[in-house]
Amino acid sequence: MDGMTTYRPGVTIRELILGVLNKAPKSEIVSVKATIAAVREQVPQLPETDCELVAAIVEMCSLFQLGVAFDVKEP
């Protein structure tokens, strides 16, 4: 995954994640579980694995100096 694959006209996975981060309540910690769910809700046929999405989320969060809650395995 290079983050530049387009899923809707002109929209990349990084842009989808950025959209989710911008809509989320402002805090310094981002939930991986909630972000993955929100991205998959927008694009149900998304071919990326959860691991690939986690990597992209971590990358985006580091750009904005946000913490990441690795809560994917929590019930």
Residues 53-66 pLDDT 10s:
999 999 999 888 88
Residues 48, 13: contact at Cβ < 8 Å? yes
Residues 50, 40: contact at Cβ < 8 Å? no
Number of structural domains in the chain: 1
Range of the domain at 33: 6-69
Cα–Cα distance, 13 to 20 (Å, whole number): 11
Residue 11 maps to a domain: yes
Residue 41 maps to a domain: yes
Residue 10 maps to a domain: yes
pTM over 0.75: yes
Residue 74 maps to a domain: no
Residue 18 maps to a domain: yes
Residue 36 maps to a domain: yes
Angle, vertex CA 14, rays to CA 37 and CA 70, nearest 5: 45
Residue 38 maps to a domain: yes
Q: Please give the average per-residue pLDDT across 33-56, as a whole number.
A: 92
